Amino acid sequence: MRLKDQVALITGAGTGIGRTLALRFAQEGAHVAVNGLQVEPLEQVAAQVRVMGRQALLAPADVSSPAAVKEMMRQVLQAFGQVDILVNNAANFGPTAPVWEVPVEQWDTVLAVNLRGALLCTQGVLPGMIQRHSGVILNMSSVAGKIGYPLRSPYCASKWALIGLTRTMALELGPYNIRVNALCPGPVEGENIERVIATRAAATGQTSEQVRRDYYLTKSPLGRMVTADDVAHMAIFLASDQGKSITGQAININAGYEMG
């Protein structure tokens, strides 16, 4: 087990990539605090973690709220004593619209969750990590953090910024033996990408199948999307001792969708 008895806090863990991360981390021996907005999905994830013989804590909170994050951290530290691994995965996907039609309120919400949320959660775990001279922080960016993405300006901007935050934190925290990396998935199979495809189809007048083919499948040399498990495998590698010399990187998991 590569993460035996490590404590991981995973935000946005009720569905999608976050859910898969929580389950795969538990399979590798980690105890897991699962964060999200909806309690029921978190309960289901926590129950599966406990079946594996690992400890699980429900930590529902809006990561964009300083007060909510402070209370979440209090509960997590009370339950586990420390956080060894933080995965900033919570995300708001925002509108699908040209930049001149993006409501500023939606812009602010996307950046509050995707960027401020990562900052607040990081600030919450850092005192303990710095004291122990040990820790891993993984920020869930995206292929959209490396390229332009028409009709997705708030999301794109937040993911570019998250890579900048990752690299800055890696420089600041390296002297404390804290590693910080960003994961940059390409299109990931599942409900989230299907919603994005549907809204893009509605915005462009194409069918969902046309969008899936033209925007996603044909842009991959492998002709496919990636899976949440693909992302989890990389996250586990980076969180474990196998990734002990990797920090400040924005690592693609995207079937060749983008190669920079």
Beta bridge partners of 136: 85, 179
Q: How far from 10 is each of 21, 81, 91, CA to CA, in Å?
A: 8, 16, 12
Under 8 Å between Cβ of 243 and 236: no
How crowded is the C-beta side of 179, counted as CA atoms within 13 Å?
19
Question: Alpha-carbon distance 26 to 10, whole Å?
Answer: 11
Question: Alpha-carbon distance 136 to 83, whole Å?
Answer: 9
Question: Alpha-carbon distance 25 to 132, whole Å?
Answer: 21
Instruction: State the virtual CA torsion across 97, 156, 115, 125 in degrees, nearest 10.
Output: 140
3-state secondary structure 55-88: CEEECCCCCCCHHHHHHHHHHHHHHHCCCCEEEE
Annotated catalytic, 155? yes
Question: Residue 185 is encoded by which pair of tokens?
Answer: 């998935």
Question: Residue 217 is encoded by which pair of tokens?
Answer: 């499948």
3-class DSSP assignment, residue 94: coil
Annotated catalytic residue, options 149, 155, 216, 257: 155
Under 8 Å between Cβ of 83 and 76: yes
Question: Alpha-carbon distance 23 to 32, whole Å?
Answer: 9
Q: Which residues are catalytic?
A: 155
